[in-house]
Amino acid sequence: MKRTAFYAVAVFAAAVTSGLAAWVYEGKWGASGSQLGQFDKPTGIGLAPNGNVYVADTYNHRVQYFTWEGHFRGNWGKSGSGDGEFRYPEGIAVATNGNVYVADTARHRIQYFTPTGSFIGKWGSQGAGDGQFERPFGIAVAPNGNVYVGDTENDRVQYFTASGSFLGKWGASGSGNGQFNRSMGVAVLPSGARVYIGDRLNFRVQYFTSSGSFLGKWGSQGSGDGQFNRPYGVATAPNANVFVADIYNARIQYFTPDGSFLGKWGTRGSGNGEFYYPEGVVVSANGSRVYVADTFNDRIQYFRWTEPAVAPSSVGRIKALFR
């Protein structure tokens, strides 16, 4: 009987592992250009509570937004220094109330808007003081509305109220715990308890409390599982898993909240599921889709989680062993 039971378990395992759970390609949109729905080096990507997808269309100096499957909804912005104008915007994030925050990178400031692009406010200027920036890249909005910014060339993170009042900062240049070498992507857990930073030229991810106390890190330079070649965008899922755009390795990797490797997908190329310097990543509110800004392919790709199916005939054979 024990031998029969062992064989039954083996058959069941074979049935389950004949297909592996994975993130699989579902769709894409975009092409090179400046027309509506086209992109010139899209970088940041954010998701609204209603499912709309917002894209920082960096070299077109604008924001575009779409339905979840890529149907064009609207756009705003042009090259300039006025309110609602941009100079190479890179980071983008959407608050729970639908307001859209944009890291206006080459203008060294943050601007924020209504969901349809009406200007609300701005803060920041070039410099190293509190509330000043040097080419801010990553941006994330916590559940309580606080806004976290990867102040890239100042090698630090700053955070603010929803309207831009300075709250705090952490980080310095270096490779020690809590230090950065070009802080890039920023993500906050859905609970608000942790902040994850893509530490680009230290080839790692670091994570902190919401006020900046160091909690942990993972990663090193390379192409193996859990290694990075310039991590850029970082995103968190509803289950607290962490997704990282590993751009020079042309892939997405994902991890547990403490950095244990879970999986990866992507190779260099322009086919479905392939990437050319993917810089932005975001996870849907229900955790079922991942959107990637495939920057140098001038497009957005999205992927869905697929569980393996167990064939009914396999289940029947297992039951028969115990009759």
pLDDT in tens, 180-237: 999 889 999 999 999 999 999 999 999 999 999 999 999 999 999 999 999 999 999 9
Residue 36 has pLDDT above 70, yes or no: yes
C-alpha–C-alpha distance, residues 250 and 246, integer Å: 6
For the chain, what is the mean pLDDT? 92
- Alpha helices by DSSP H, the chain: 2-17, 312-320
For 156-171, how does the pLDDT look when each residue is reduced to its tens digit (9 = 90+)?
999 999 999 999 999 9
Q: Is the dihedral of CA 69, 72, 73, 76 positive or negative?
A: positive
pLDDT band (50, 70, 90) for residue 18: very low
| pLDDT, position 308 | 76
| 3-state class (DSSP) for residue 304 | strand
Residue 320 has pLDDT above 50, yes or no: no
Look up the pTM and report it. 0.90
Residue 245 has pLDDT above 60, yes or no: yes
For 122-146, how does the pLDDT look when each residue is reduced to its tens digit (9 = 90+)?
999 999 999 999 999 999 999 999 9
| pLDDT, position 220 | 98
How large is the angle between the packed helices 312-320 and 2-17, nearest 10 degrees?
A: 180
| pLDDT, position 21 | 86
Work out the number of other CB atoms within 10 angstroms of the CB of residue 73: 16
- Per the document, the length of the chain is 323
35, with CB counted inside 10 A (0-12, 13-18, 19+), is: exposed
Q: Choose among 276, 316, 239: nearest CA to 12.
A: 316
| 3-state class (DSSP) for residue 237 | coil
Higher pLDDT, 311 or 322: 311
For 248-280, how does the pLDDT look when each residue is reduced to its tens digit (9 = 90+)?
999 999 999 999 999 999 999 999 999 999 999
Residue 11 has pLDDT above 70, yes or no: no
Which DSSP string do the residues of 156-193 spell out, in sequence order? EEEEE-TT--EEEEE--BSSSTT-BSSEEEEEE-TTSS
| pLDDT, position 184 | 84
Residue 74 has pLDDT above 60, yes or no: yes
Contact residues for 112 (Cβ-Cβ < 8 A; gap 6+):
99, 100, 101, 102, 120, 121, 122, 164
| pLDDT, position 233 | 96
Over residues 300-309, the mean pLDDT reads 91
* Residue in this structure with the two tokens 């410099």, named with its chain if needed: 127
End-to-end CA distance of the chain: 11
Q: Is the dihedral of CA 105, 110, 116, 117 positive or negative?
A: negative
In contact, 47 and 53? CB cutoff 8 Å: yes
In contact, 18 and 308? CB cutoff 8 Å: yes
In contact, 27 and 302? CB cutoff 8 Å: yes
Percent with pLDDT over 70 in the chain = 89
Instruction: Identify the bridge partners of residue 96 per DSSP, sorted by sequence position.
Output: none
8 DSSP assignment: H
Distances (CA, A) of 25 to 199, 201, 207, 307: 27, 29, 29, 14
**Both tokens assigned to 250:** 């042309």
58, with CB counted inside 10 A (0-12, 13-18, 19+), is: buried
Largest Cα–Cα separation, the chain: 78
323, with CB counted inside 10 A (0-12, 13-18, 19+), is: exposed
